[in-house]
Amino acid sequence: EPIEGVSSALIFKDVNCPEKVMITKSELMDFLADENIDVLMTLGAGDIDRFVPQITDMLEKR
């Protein structure tokens, strides 16, 4: 269930990381396909966990 007042923008604002990017779910796979990734950390205020199998599969095929 959504928590009132919690959003991806709220979480993003408080993450102290110099290389952070906030994108939509629809942009996710295309964005990751173009990135040179050593470490990937996903945070979200929703169902970002549903993308883990797709992300894992894509990265393992590199």
DSSP class per residue in 28-60? HHHHHHTS--S------SSSGGGGHHHHHHHHH
Does residue 56 carry a pLDDT above 90? yes
pLDDT exceeds 90 at position 54: yes
3-state secondary structure of 7: coil
Token pair in block for residue 7: 């959003």
The pLDDT value recorded for residue 52 is 92
- What gap in Å lies between CA 62 and CA 48, rounded to an integer? 22
Sign of the CA dihedral running 27, 30, 36, 40:
positive
